[in-house]
Amino acid sequence: MREFIDVIRKGSIAQVQLNRPGAYNAFNLEMITDLASDLISLAADDDTRGLLITGSGQAFCAGGDLKWATGYAKNPGNAFYTLASHFHTAILEIRRMPKPVVAAINGIAAGGGFSLALACDFRVMEQSAVMRQAYTSNGLCIDGGGTFTLPRLVGYARALEMAAFDHPLSAKHAHEWGLVTEVVSDGQSVAAAMEMLAGLIQKPLHSFGLSKNLINDSYVHSLETQLELERNGLAKAADHPDGREGLKAFTEKRKPNFYSDG
């Protein structure tokens, strides 16, 4: 078991738990390197059909460890440049893996923790938890894909408002703005996220993965390119065992039995 990252297997779901509770799960270089490595392994693991990311103690993740960065041997700029390279590997793994990833936001999600939560496919947030971009209040700018995901979730104007004013967002506010999928009672985020994943992994993951990547890429393609990608994706899905089972079940007027390897 790694010092700062715990991976807890629950059947075909992997619970990835950030484990620096004394630092509100802020990540130093060792922690973020381990997180990226674990996500790479889980993305490639056929026995893992869904991921849950949460934090230990009272926080989800407070982002990069600013105390660690200011004490870095060279300078803070080099510290954040190095930290971000591993952090961004983790973000890309989440966005590209053809498996559902759910964040269970059990407490403060700020800075890199905010961006990490937004990178997940779905977010379950506890009532007393708070989301905050936090970067700009510390003289920094947003990383971890936050400038990509945030405006796509809330729109340009609200994203810029959050970057400029850095107002903390309550769970109710975050839900109203479309930043979180579900709000639950305190202490229930992991259970609710696990229930969500249990339903998701019974669905055709190959279809989910294709759709996830198509949606990810839709912002950088022309309509013509996106239509061609959709056509190719549809043909690939129809030829996959999940697609064949779905079509057969439809014609036989029964519930499909999806559980392929994706």
In a domain, 260, yes or no: no
User: What is the mean pLDDT of the segment spanning 155-169?
Assistant: 96
Tokens 């309509």, residue located: 223
Specify the number of domains making up the chain.
Answer: 2
Mark whether 85 and 22 lie in a shared domain: yes
Looking at the structure, tell me whether residues 166 and 239 fall in a common domain: no
pLDDT in tens, 23-33: 999 999 999 99
Do 161 and 240 share a structural domain?
no
Please check whether residue 112 lies inside any domain of the structure.
yes
Is 71 in the same domain as 188?
yes
The whole domain housing 229 covers 205-251
Q: 200, 219, 240: which is the final residue of a domain? A: 200
Same domain, 65 and 96: yes
* Mean residue pLDDT across the chain: 94
Question: Could you read off the pLDDT of 105-157 as tens digits, one per residue?
Answer: 999 999 999 999 999 999 999 999 999 999 999 999 999 999 999 999 999 99
Query: Could you tell me if 209 and 85 lie in one domain?
Result: no
Query: Based on the domain organization, do 141 and 218 belong to the same domain?
Result: no
Same domain, 89 and 154: yes
Q: What is the 3-state secondary structure (H, E, C) of the chain?
A: CCCCEEEEEECCEEEEEECCHHHCCCECHHHHHHHHHHHHHHHHCCCCCEEEEEECCCEEECCECHHHHHCCCCCHHHHHHHHHHHHHHHHHHHHHCCCCEEEEECCEEECHHHHHHHHCCEEEEECCCEEECCCHHHCCCCCCCHHHHHHHHHCHHHHHHHHHHCCCEEHHHHHHCCCCCEEECCCCHHHHHHHHHHHHCCCCHHHHHHHHHHHHHHHHCCHHHHHHHHHHHHHHHHHCHHHHHHHHHHHCCCCCCCCCCC
Q: What is the pLDDT of residues 195-238, one digit of tens each?
A: 999 999 999 999 999 999 999 999 889 999 999 999 999 999 99
In this structure, the answer to whether residues 41 and 148 fall within a common structural domain is yes
CA–CA separation, 176 and 178 (whole Å): 6
On whether both 189 and 215 belong to a single domain, the answer is no
Tell whether 175 and 209 lie within a shared domain.
no
**How far apart, in whole angstroms, are the C-alpha atoms of residue 250 and residue 254?**
6
139 with 153, same domain: the answer is yes
Q: 262 in a domain, yes or no?
A: no
pTM score: 0.93
Q: Is residue 29 part of a domain?
A: yes
Burial class of 1 by CB neighbour count within 10 A (0 to 12, 13 to 18, 19+): exposed
**Mean pLDDT value of segment 185-195:** 98
Could you tell me the CATH number of the domain that includes residue 220? 1.10.12
Q: Is the dihedral of CA 167, 105, 101, 110 positive or negative?
A: positive
Backbone dihedral region for residue 134 (phi beyond 0: left; psi -120 to 50: alpha; all else: beta): left
Is 261 within the bounds of a domain? no
From 167, 185, 200, the end of a domain falls on 200
pLDDT over 60 (residue 90): yes
262 pLDDT more than 50: no
With CA atoms as reference, report the closest residue to 127 among 192, 183, 174, 191: 183
